[in-house]
Copies of this chain bind each other. A is one copy, B any other.
């Protein structure tokens, strides 16, 4: 485990499987995807609009990775035109919660920082 290895005397194993999941979650669009899906099930294009700036290719990759990781549930309806919905699994919801904790903290922290008098 990541923290454990650092807290202990051992160095980090680069091949540690946690690294991959961690990189997925903390990736640029990974973070935002989790937050976006936190409360809502969304279709591909809805999600893409919310994450203003994602390329189609990257969003697909993130969603596929998360699906493999077990954080995202993909439901595809065989209709024309296609209709696919993405939602978080229970685990995904947990991860999203933790990420939200972090982003909320960042928001508060920067508010406090900017409130300080000695600021450029």
Contacts and interface: CB of A to CB of B under 8 A. Distances in A.
Interface stretch (A48-56, A58-66, A78-86): A48-56
Mostly, the A contact residues are helix
B4 A107 contact: yes
Given A3-B35, A32-B12, A35-B2, A103 B52 contact: no
Given A12-B53, A50-B11, A102-B98, A6 B35 contact: yes
Interface residues of A, number: 47
A25 B106 contact: yes
A38 B7 contact: yes
The 5 A-B pairs at the shortest CB distance, nearest first, are namely A1-B107, A26-B26, A11-B52, A2-B103, A6-B35
